[in-house]
A and B are shown apart, each in its own frame.
Chain A
Amino acid sequence: MSTEFMLIDNVPVEIAGEKNILAVIRKAGIELPTFCYYSELSVYGACRMCVVEDKWGDIHASCSTPPKAGMEIRTNTPRLRKYRKMILELFLSNHCRDCTTCEKNGKCKLQELAQRFGIKQVRFNNTSGEPDLDTSSLCIVRDRSKCILCGDCVRMCDEVQKVGAIDFAHRGSKMRVSPAFDEPIAKTNCVGCGQCAAVCPTGAIVVRDDTARLWHDISDRDAKVVVQIAPAVRVGIGKEFGLAEGENVMGRIVAALRRMGFDEVFDTSTGADLTVLEEAGEFLARLHKGEKLPLFTSCCPAWIQYAENNYPELMPNISTCRSPMQMFASVLKEHYRHSNRRVVVVAVMPCTAKKFEAARDEFREDGIPNVDYVITTQELVKMIRESGIVFSEVEPESVDMPFGAVSGAGVIFGVTGGVTEAVIRRLADDKSVSALRALAFTGVRGLKGVKEASIEYAGREVRIAIVSGLRNADNLIRQIKSGEKHYDFLEIMACPGGCIAGAGQPVTNEEGRKRRSAGLYDSDRMSSIKRSEENPVIMALYSGLLKGKVHNLLHVEYRRKA
């Protein structure tokens, strides 16, 4: 079959199975503007920014027009420029334009496109009111006055996460994105994954910012502020400071945090190593007894909430292991129990749902949370900028003792499949280097939403599924319930791709996710400790601090919300 071509601005471009002209145009190196188009979501065709003109002068929305051989398309005619400017002016006319104080300032698509298309003046009266905030959630903040009704959040919440906490309500000029009955978002089934904020082109949904309170504690001399950094953060932050996407910049983060005034800096991968040992032990115990299988992982707080809301009957199947962040936090609080200063535990996370997890009653002692602050990678970027540190010139440093060692297994927790691979490393009888390398090819790696793997353990087959994206998880749970599928172990992460693409990370695309994933696997390859049980810090913990306290400090029984 001969190749099919179409003409874009007089240049022939090959059609290679693209579903819409927009994809072909972008492939041709033209950055057509869009608000409502994401390749992983359904096509909505609402914003009309991507309009193109055909050879007869007809106008089409390129996102919702399939390419055909011989098509002749123009992307930049006077008419199209006029239309785009008009659309932008209309958006701006009912948009709260307090850009300088907006959370999204400098990252807003509307701001960017208004600038790109040279909008110097809006001909229409501004009909937007004051900011209209919903601050009920611990994870995200909504501001209706900044919403352009592109529906990206609605489709993300429903199509990818199957949560459906928000949708369009009312119609015409009264239309708005809202939970049922205009309830505050915290009163809905929202799981706090924050993916709505990750796709929102404006400041209508943003990650909650907790940095102001944290700065206060950092400068308090009576407080000892210790911080742990999650695996995914180190590969998600560099690009914000002009370094390569996916580059592991852990050393720089550590150095920057010290300069900002944090007293001790640790790596959440240490917590992940604890999780591997506890979870592997729990899995083996269940496998021997043949009960409460399949075992679901418990690292992802958005998944925990999703299960509590939709499948309470599955709660006994979810691992009792606390997440790495919570395990490490209880270890830290225990370690500094006799400190003469108030100990403040901070966690830098790629995740918005962790803010909710940290506030859960199960993770409080005498009312005080084990993790005092969760700040996202995005918030850390802001803190570094605010402190004036030139990140790209910081000399890398290592984390503090006595928790200074981590294994490669703990580091790969940040990507989908990482938890599973780490647990398999623990379970595998064959500890040789070649066996370890072979694990990478069992199907556990890659950014696919659903992966299956199977390993041999003690003469039997252990069936494993690795899922990211809550709709994928839901589909699989239904198949398990109907008896169509059988597994022994399921790793579930709410965000597609795992924590590297968490909503707390700087927003990225598919290419970025691949690089971040590669960054973590590179770090694992360069790590001399590959298995969690080989980490001397962990061994010291079990024979010291954790003695007799494993259950209290590392496990949890989730009490269903009323």
Chain B
Amino acid sequence: MKAAIDFGEMDAILTKYGHKANNIIPILQDTQAKYRYLPREAFSYLSEKLGISTAKIYSVATFYENFSLEPKGKYVIKVCDGTACHVRKSIPILERLRKELALSETKVTTDDLLFTVETVSCLGACGLAPVLTVNDKVYPAMTPDKTSELLAKLKEAN
């Protein structure tokens, strides 16, 4: 289910960035922070307000890996697969997560919109490898079993 966007909230974001088209990246970041993804309605609204085409905004949004055009889960789990995490076995952690949540490389979000599982190339916390983050909280020195426990705890909290 895709919720319609709140134009009042969009206006607040636009005001914060002075309705300037060259602030499109922070505007999209704030929009994504609100909705956990970039809703389609936001494109036409921003296009009208900023005077740039929806194709141009789509261009920016698809260029950066961080922007998502699909709704993301309440918990966005990012598994680090940088060199340090990779050699300290991040892949089994990723596989465990995908198995337990019935996700894959192409299907990254659970149907109940609770979890999204992604990989990142480096979180800059190589000393804590292997690392994953849930939303912005960092979980260091993970193992597949610790990951299962974490998932169970998160599910319980809901």
**Binding-face segment, B22-30, B54-62, B83-91, B138-146:** B54-62
Residue of A nearest to B54 (CB): A180
Minimum C-beta distance from A471 to chain B (A): 12
Central interface residue in B55, B63, B69, by most chain A CB within 10 Å:
B55
Task: Report yes or no: A158 in contact with B53, Cβ–Cβ below 8 A.
Answer: yes
Residue in contact with A167 in the complex, picked from B40, B56, B69, CB distance below 8 Å: B56
Asked if B123 is an interface residue, CB under 8 A from chain A, the answer is: no
Number of A residues with CB within 8 Å of any CB on chain B: 16
Task: Report yes or no: A181 in contact with B56, Cβ–Cβ below 8 A.
Answer: no
**Mask of A155-188 contacts with B, CB within 8 angstroms, 1/0:** 0001000011111111100000011110000001
Q: Is the interface of B mostly helix, strand, loop or mixed?
A: helix
CA distance A291 to B40 in the complex (A): 40
CA distance A169 to B67 in the complex (A): 13
Minimum C-beta distance from A169 to chain B (A): 5
**Contact-residue bracket for chain B:** 10 to 19
CA distance A165 to B54 in the complex (A): 8
- Among B29-72, those with CB < 8 Å from A are 40, 43, 52-59, 62-63, 69
- On chain B, the residues within 8 Å of A171 by CB distance are 62-63
User: Tally of A-B residue pairs with Cβ under 8 A?
Assistant: 44
Minimum C-beta distance from A318 to chain B (A): 22
Minimum C-beta distance from A147 to chain B (A): 15
Minimum C-beta distance from B84 to chain A (A): 24
CA distance A169 to B53 in the complex (A): 13
Residue of B nearest to A169 (CB): B62
Q: Is the interface of A mostly helix, strand, loop or mixed?
A: loop
**Mask of B116-135 contacts with A, CB within 8 angstroms, 1/0:** 00000000000000000000
Task: Report yes or no: B53 in contact with A181, Cβ–Cβ below 8 A.
Answer: no
Given known pairs A180-B43, A181-B40, the reply for A164 and B62 (CB within 8 Å) is no
Given known pairs A180-B43, A181-B40, the reply for A164 and B55 (CB within 8 Å) is yes
Residue in contact with A169 in the complex, picked from B40, B43, B59, CB distance below 8 Å: B59
Task: Report yes or no: B53 in contact with A164, Cβ–Cβ below 8 A.
Answer: yes
Task: Report yes or no: A163 in contact with B40, Cβ–Cβ below 8 A.
Answer: no
Minimum C-beta distance from A161 to chain B (A): 11
CA distance A166 to B58 in the complex (A): 10
Task: Report yes or no: A163 in contact with B53, Cβ–Cβ below 8 A.
Answer: yes
- On chain B, the residues within 8 Å of A163 by CB distance are 53
CA distance A178 to B54 in the complex (A): 11
CA distance A327 to B57 in the complex (A): 40
Residue in contact with A188 in the complex, picked from B52, B55, B59, B69, CB distance below 8 Å: B55
Minimum C-beta distance from B22 to chain A (A): 15
- On chain B, the residues within 8 Å of A178 by CB distance are 55, 58
- On chain B, the residues within 8 Å of A170 by CB distance are 62-63
Minimum C-beta distance from A166 to chain B (A): 6
CA distance A169 to B62 in the complex (A): 6
Given known pairs A158-B53, A163-B53, A180-B54, the reply for A168 and B59 (CB within 8 Å) is yes
Task: Report yes or no: A164 in contact with B52, Cβ–Cβ below 8 A.
Answer: yes
Given known pairs A180-B43, A181-B40, the reply for A158 and B63 (CB within 8 Å) is no
- On chain A, the residues within 8 Å of B62 by CB distance are 169-171
Residue of B nearest to A171 (CB): B63
- On chain A, the residues within 8 Å of B57 by CB distance are 180
Residue of B nearest to A190 (CB): B55
Residue of A nearest to B53 (CB): A164
Selected A-B contacts with CB under 8 Å, 16 pairs: A158-B53, A164-B52, A164-B55, A165-B53, A166-B55, A167-B59, A169-B58, A170-B62, A171-B62, A178-B58, A179-B55, A180-B54, A180-B55, A181-B43, A181-B54, A188-B54
List the interface of chain B (C-beta within 8 A of A): 40, 43, 52-59, 62-63, 69
* Contacts beyond the supplied A164-B53, A167-B55: 6 A-B pairs with Cβ under 8 Å: A158-B53, A164-B55, A170-B63, A179-B55, A180-B53, A180-B55
